[in-house]
Amino acid sequence: MEKRNIIVIGASTGGFEAIKQLVAALPADLDAAIFIVWHMSPDMRGILPQVLNQQNTMLATNALDNEPISTNHIYVAAPDKHLMLEKGLVRTTRGPKENRFRPAVDPLFRSAAASYGSRVIGIVLSGALDDGTAGLWTIKSRGGIAIVQEPTEAAVPSMPESALAAVDVDYCVSIAEMAPLLVKLTAEMVTEANEVAMDEQQKTSREVRFAAQGRTFEQRQPAFGQLTPYTCPDCHGVLSAITDGDIIRYRCHTGHAHSADSLLATITEEIEDTLWSAIRGVEESIFLLNDLGDHYAEKNQPKLAAMYFKKAQEAAVRADMVRQTVFNHEQLTTASISKQVADEEVA
């Protein structure tokens, strides 16, 4: 039997302070290895370890590829690198983005579950959308412990709320309660990991290889899951739908992955971009039509000039219609839709 001493933490917006508070409350001699993914810009300096070391608890460093895993140590994902685990080793990769992020939470959670099974404790903290939900489901399915920050305490509750809605979470607690809970859980011995169906093992293994920069294209079966009519926002490859329990998510054969929430948010965001491009194109046609109208007027061809001016006016009407569509366009997420449903029920 072994200790439950692999702790993986995922956070996004609002998670910086939550991580600081949690680490500050942990004992300096905690017999566990902690791995943290906090969403950040790829050109941002990896300052989180420096900040965590000011808490005077466990040593925190930016994770390095292929370094051995040690307990009583905090490993933080570096900017623009996925953080993943192999048995006994830390991996950092530039594999395909997941949920529009690198580092993303799901690759860490998924790889930890695949390598350490029931020894893993997965924690979802404050953040927008739902990165970490699918990975937390994988941890739970392999006998690990699932913990989320109390959503009412989180600066941005979407990530904890998503995990609570989709995963049979073991603990939903405040940051103040989380540190003593981790001390208790990491002192426990664990039994063997849950038995996992072969197809589920193969799916997880292939997804881990995606994030680890492995070549996973298969000539006879390039996709896995159910093919959909949707295209990947990152590379425009066809997306396949993958299910984890009640969770549905999407992945293309090159490796980019999207939760339903991140895909919806990306698609609706791209709609606005496309509409602005349409307005730009129509307005350019208006400029050109008017210029040509002036040209033919100067050439003493009034009927032809008038037709160009007429077409410019018609195009201006169409531009106004598209512009109004942009102003009425709604940026959607599953959280915003759920809120509208709740608001209607209250009304």
**What is the block-wise mean pLDDT of the chain (347 residues), using blocks of 10 residues?**
94 96 96 96 84 93 97 96 97 94 97 96 96 97 96 96 96 98 95 78 88 64 76 92 93 91 91 93 96 96 97 96 92 82 82
pLDDT of res. 240: 92
pLDDT at 223: 54
Question: What pLDDT score was predicted for residue 199?
Answer: 83
In this prediction, residue 275 carries a pLDDT of 94
* Segments making up each domain of the chain, as ranges: 2-190, 262-346
- CATH class, domain 2-190, is alpha beta
Q: What is the pLDDT of residue 58?
A: 95
**What does 28-90 look like in DSSP terms, one character per residue?**
TT--SEEEEEE---TTS---HHHHHHTTSSSEEEE--TTPBP-SSEEEEPPTT-EEEEETTEE
pLDDT at position 217:
56
Q: Which residues are catalytic?
A: 12, 39, 131
Q: What is the pLDDT of residue 194?
A: 72
In Å, what is the CA distance from 271 to each residue of 88, 124, 328? 45, 30, 12
Pick from 102, 101, 149: nearest CA to 265: 101
Nearest to 199 by CA among 260, 262, 243, 263: 243
**Is-above-0.85 flag for pTM?**
yes
Q: Which two tokens stand for residue 296?
A: 């033919």
